[in-house]
């Protein structure tokens, strides 16, 4: 898996991460034991990941946040928040006490993920 600058997550024996360099970027699910690709989904740009409660919080370098289910069966996008920040959101996301911290080159935000 050619993750370039982003990270990958291992959840229940499967690796979830981006593959690609300066051309097409794919989110892949790969069986950790066998190396078999279970599925892949083309993405518009690179993403950082955090594994949380059976999902991936997927933070794009363009400043958008997605919630993807961690299942080896298929790519399942559950929700998205577009344009939270801007391009060159290259800093890794941080999660603490149910709050997600994100930043681009000029701004930082906190997204409260706790249930009301």
pLDDT in tens, 37-68: 999 999 988 899 999 999 999 999 999 999 99
What are the tens digits of pLDDT across the range 66-114? 999 999 999 999 999 999 999 999 999 999 999 999 999 999 999 999 9
For tokens 């701004």, the residue is 107
Residues in the chain, how many? 116
DSSP, collapsed to helix, strand or coil, labels residue 57 as strand
For tokens 């930043």, the residue is 103
**Domain boundaries, given as residue ranges, for the chain:** 9-112
CB atoms within 10 A of CB 33: 8
Domain 9-112 in this protein, CATH class: mainly beta
Residues 37, 52 contacting (CB under 8 angstroms): no
Q: How many CA atoms lie within 13 A of 2 on its CB side?
A: 8
């Amino acid at each position: 898996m050619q993750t370039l600058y982003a990270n990958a997550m291992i959840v229940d024996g499967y690796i979830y991460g981006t593959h690609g360099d300066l051309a097409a970027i794919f989110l892949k699910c790969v069986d950790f034991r066998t190396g078999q690709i279970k599925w892949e989904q083309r993405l518009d740009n690179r993403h950082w990941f955090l594994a949380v409660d059976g999902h991936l919080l997927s933070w794009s370098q363009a400043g958008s946040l997605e919630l993807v289910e961690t299942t080896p069966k298929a790519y399942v996008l559950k929700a998205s928040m577009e344009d939270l920040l801007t391009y060159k959101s290259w800093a890794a996301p941080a999660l603490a006490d149910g709050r997600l911290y994100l930043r681009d080159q000029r701004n930082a935000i906190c997204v409260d993920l706790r249930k009301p």
